[in-house]
Amino acid sequence: MESCGIVVEYNPFHNGHLHHLQQSKAVTNADVVIAVMSGNFLQRGEPALVSKFVRTKMALKNGVDIVIELPYAFATQKAEDFAKGAVDILASLGCSYICFGSESGNIEQFTKTYTIMQENMTEYNKFVKRYMNEGFSYPEATSRAFKKIAPSSEVVDLSKPNNILGYHYVKAIKDLNLNIQPVTIERIQSGYNDVTLSPSNISSATSIRQTLFKAKDLETIKKQVPMETYEQLVTYQEEYVSFVQWENLWPFLKYRILQSEPEELKDIYEVEEGLENRYIRFAKESITFHEFMEKVKTKRYTWTRLQRTCVHILTNTNKDIMRERSKRAEYIRLLGFTKKGREYLNQYKEHFTLPLITNLSQADPEKIRLDVKAAHMYSFAYPNEIGQKIIKQEYQQPPIME
């Protein structure tokens, strides 16, 4: 059985994701699709709209065969580390391919970009440093630096978010010498950061979430998601009352910031260059998370970077443990599978190069500590009894079988 890996968040699973999933199967002719999915907190520094187990159900009901959790140490990282962890896990599962969506849609552009980057790394790093010193954010500095060393139209436009991730998937494969073939398909219609629903039936996850938070009416997004997703969201809303966003967690983040000394915050992962003082100053003045973010952000630090830092403050994740846990993937946590997925697992699990975890009791407590802390912090977004249910799921929920 040949397997194709995909890297996802499904926050929530929408029609664009369904297109990606179907095209991944079509272009690779794989028997099984394995999704590595972020857990409670996501790459853009946000809490997941719904729990990872609900998102696992969405994935399985829409055609994914196996869902694996991307650990916190990679899921809440910049693109390079996010991609490294995801690709490492997919390779350890024996995936023949990884298929990702991109604005480019041309895999040769990605491999050529990698070659050019390797040949000009010293010069590239000099430009990155120069632009950072001029006050640009890291993503903007890297994009400008690359244009300096490779102005050709034959390479990938690294100012586009999905192209950036795609480049880092390819880079991770080559840097780690992994036996997995990268494939890309072009993203269609809605942009990654669009905040309003598209007139078509494909909208960004961002716009779907924004609509849900404002309208609180699932009918408004019904045509943007597969029926299986819609039904899961309806059930979730009935059972858990509300969808999760940063505002639910703001009181806890504000407490964490204001009860900390600057030196304590300085030890948190990604708190650099005096950010600890800005956080303390503006936490005192802000009533909402959005107001806080508007005050904290600068030209140098993107909203996404600052949100990720907020996640690390909330979970009290220091620099040393994050760097240690994000060197390489250390385990495979199975969240769910279909009948076909179970066949694949039974056939190949003895050949997996990382330990397969189906229950937290099987795991090394130190290795999963960040994921467990993240689950506890995520549970605070819910009323007490429902929050306790979220924690019980973390420890007791077996892999979902579809």
Q: Does 17 carry a binding-site annotation?
A: yes
Q: Please say whether the beta carbons of 317 and 269 come within 8 A.
A: yes
Q: Does 15 carry a binding-site annotation?
A: yes
Query: How do strand 181-186 and strand 400-401 relate by DSSP bridges?
Result: unpaired
Q: Which two tokens stand for residue 86?
A: 């995801």
Q: Does 188 carry a binding-site annotation?
A: yes
Q: Does 187 carry a binding-site annotation?
A: yes
Q: Does 168 carry a binding-site annotation?
A: no
Q: Does 7 carry a binding-site annotation?
A: yes
Q: Which two tokens stand for residue 315?
A: 């979970």
Q: Does 130 carry a binding-site annotation?
A: no
Query: How do strand 356-357 and strand 181-186 relate by DSSP bridges?
Result: unpaired
Q: Does 199 carry a binding-site annotation?
A: no
Q: Does 20 carry a binding-site annotation?
A: yes
Q: Does 376 carry a binding-site annotation?
A: no
Distance CA(296)–CA(162), nearest Å, equals 26
Q: Does 11 carry a binding-site annotation?
A: yes
Q: Does 14 carry a binding-site annotation?
A: yes
Quote helix, strand, coil % in the chain, to nearest 5. 55, 10, 35
Q: Does 19 carry a binding-site annotation?
A: yes
Element (H, E) at 332: strand 332-337
Distance CA(67)–CA(13), nearest Å, equals 13
Q: Which two tokens stand for residue 248?
A: 């639910």
Distance of CA 169 to the CA centre of its chain: 13
CB within 8 A of 44, min separation 6: which ones? Answer: 304, 307, 308
Residues of each annotated binding site for ATP: 7-20, 101, 162, 187-188
Residues of each annotated binding site: 7-20, 101, 162, 187-188
